[in-house]
Structure 1
Amino acid sequence: MAFAELEIDASQIAGLARTFELAKARAPKAISRAIARTGAMTKTQVVRSLTAQTGLNRQVIVRAVKAKPGLMSYALLSRGGDVSLKYFGARETRRGVSAAPWNHRQVFAGTFIKGGRFPKRVPLPFGGQVMARTGSSRLPIAKRKSGLFIPKEMVSGATAAAFLKTVNTVLPVRLQHELQAILGGHAPT
């Protein structure tokens, strides 16, 4: 399981010190609400970015990325192994199966989804999985994987940048908003 480290620049929140002083006992509730709202917005951005970065369907990414909101925290978690080629828009050609991991279409030579001779090929009972022979004879065969791991992709590249950008821009604004709501709209800016 992969985890990301989050750093927030304290200078962004320093202007809120006087507001925290006025809010006192009600500040933790405002902080919790701001974190929850920022976390939900961040999850949306992470799902969008991860969909574009990996080439997987949005539904697969939504199922893979789980939110774990807490009282004063919000975590995005994902686990899983090597994703099968089946999930990257796999389609069979004469040279092998064409699939698009990392949003880059390529042909995986020697792989197949169907059995029989061209043009009368029939579906195999493997649920659309991309298969490849593991030896020089007809059998045994094994499922072919892509080499893409969702947790690893979640903490790298454009997805990590989208996460940090969203948190750094949205959290201070949401925190100010929630504190103003607690103070009846009269918080100093």
Structure 2
Amino acid sequence: MGSGWPFLVKAADLLGVAMFSVGEVNVKGLLQFENMLGALGEDAPKAVNRAINRTGDMARTQVVRTLAKQTGLPQKTIRKSVKVKRSSWDDLTYTLKSAGGDVALKYFQKRETKKGVVANLGTARGRVLFPRTFFRGGAFPRRVDLSAFGGHVMDRMSEQRFHLKKVKSGVFIPEEMVEGATADAFERSVQQNLPRRLDHEISRLLGL
């Protein structure tokens, strides 16, 4: 599950199969819509497209919320990382995709102690101490933020004053997105909402 592994909300050969594949999630109970889709004729992809996009948007909301809790990152950071490719009539696929490497510790809730920086890395890891690290200068307890660091947490590579490196968290958003609570939240959202949204869109076009 490397960088860029996507979640897919996909209608696989919809009119012929009447089975949706949602990434690795099979949504059951959709066979009931086969005849209704047939009655729509050329308008069938319109109903499916709307249902997939609405379902995908709802799933994305759950992914962002849950992934923020799982990693300890702000939701705005998660939203920037999780990209969306929406479904269209020609390509009935809604994709959530994330890319990126080891997230810098600066983006997490953190505090500096005499032993090092303690950061909240979410429900998956809890609060973690990074020994010897710092992001402030001066003497305890009156240390102040250093603008030169730009909020980054630093570690000393040697006794030389400016021989420093930025500290990473060990958290990779693409990996976290397809594991644990976030993956479960995505699956539940799709399983609950896709049949309901499809029923709504078909009924609307049939005037039911």
Question: TM-score, normalised to structure 2's length?
Answer: 0.83
Secondary structure of 2:202's partner? helix
The structural deviation recorded for 1:35 is 0.5
**Greater relative contact order: 1 or 2 (C-alpha under 8 angstroms, separation 6 or more)?**
1
* SS of equivalent to 2:207: coil
Which residues in structure 2 correspond to 1:47-126 (within 5 Å)? 47-71=64-88, 72-103=92-123, 104-124=126-146, 125-126=148-149
Distance 1:8 1:100 in 2: 31
Give 1:143 shift. 0.4
1:178 paired residue among 185, 198, 201: 201
- Look up the match of 1:20: 37
Q: How does 1:144-155 map to 2 (within 5 A)?
A: 144-155=167-178
Q: 1:3 aligns with which of 3, 6, 11?
A: 6
Give 1:2 deviation, angstroms.
2.2
Runs (5+) with no aligned partner, structure 1: none
Following the alignment from structure 2 to structure 1, what is the Cα–Cα distance between the partners of residues 25 and 117?
A: 45
Over the matched positions of the two proteins, sequence identity in percent amounts to: 46
Greater strand share, structure number = 2
Q: Give the count of matched residue pairs.
A: 185
Q: Under a length normalisation based on structure 1, what TM-score does the superposition of the two structures give?
A: 0.91
In 2, the alpha carbon distance for the partners of 1:129 and 1:10 equals 44
Give the direction of change, closer, same or farther, for the CA distance of 1:11–1:114 in structure 2 (3 Å limit). Answer: closer
Unaligned stretches of 5+ in structure 2? 9-22
8 Å CA contact 1:53–1:102 kept in 2: the answer is yes
Aligned CA-pair RMSD: 1.6
